[in-house]
Structure 1
Amino acid sequence: MLITFKSRASGDVIMLENNGEEMLSLFGKNPTDTKGIVTVEQLPGAISALKSATQADLATQREPANGDEQTETGNPVSLHQRTLPLLELLERSLKDNVPVTWGV
């Protein structure tokens, strides 16, 4: 299944269910809810939570050393890469003073 994050401030952000649920957990929403809202008042906290998680993820990443094997498809997608589109959506929504909704 997919989770779609929507806002009048920007285009939709669509994520696979497990990734979307991870994002919801990061900013304090119940990941098992099939739909919900991040109010304008909650946006700063959600943005801060995603930025903190991103910084923590970046701090744990390391560059591959010579001789490290990489998969044929390269490195897996990091949390930092997954949060970026949603973070941009949240920031634009805060700037335009509109909520963000999600649903399956």
Structure 2
Amino acid sequence: MFRFKSKAAADVIYMPDAAQQVLAALGREPAREGIIELADLPAAQRALLAAVEADEAAFAGLVAEAEAQGEPAPRRQGVTLKQRVWPLLDMLRLSEAERADVIWQG
């Protein structure tokens, strides 16, 4: 498990596969430990939002392609990236407001 911590918010916990996906969205190496410093919090938020937008656009493309071919639209399976990053995005926002770094340990 990976645990993201901040003095400004409750811990956010991810299973290893989910943590890898979130760290990739952040543009971070999948290290067992790391930090997102206060100065990097706005960029981290933008990176997560951009990753969510890209994921949503890719799925919308699949839906449009299926509809164009007269096939039923695909359905999302499991937890979406948008759902997965929401707690961490909230932590990043609170941490920025409280001027606190975010660390993770896995």
CA distance in 1, matches of 2:90, 2:104: 15
Give the aligned partner of residue 60 of structure 1.
58
Q: Which runs of 4+ in 1 moved over 4 A?
A: 62-70
3-state SS of paired residue (2:44): helix
CA distance in 1, matches of 2:25, 2:74: 31
Give the aligned partner of residue 43 of structure 2.
45
Aligned residue pair count = 99
| Deviation per residue, 1:50-93 (Å, 9 max, x gap) | 000111112223469795686xxx73211111111111111111
CA distance in 2, matches of 1:77, 1:37: 25
CA distance in 2, matches of 1:9, 1:47: 15
1:8 partner letter: K
Distance 1:60 1:68, change over 3 A: closer
Q: Which has the higher helix share?
A: 2
CA distance in 1, matches of 2:74, 2:50: 29
The normalised TM-score by structure 1 is 0.82
Give the aligned partner of residue 11 of structure 2.
12
The normalised TM-score by structure 2 is 0.81
Gaps of 5+ in 2: none
Gaps of 5+ in 1: none
2:94 partner letter: R
Distance 1:34 1:9, change over 3 A: same
Distance 1:67 1:30, change over 3 A: closer
CA distance in 2, matches of 1:22, 1:67: 28
RMSD: 2.1
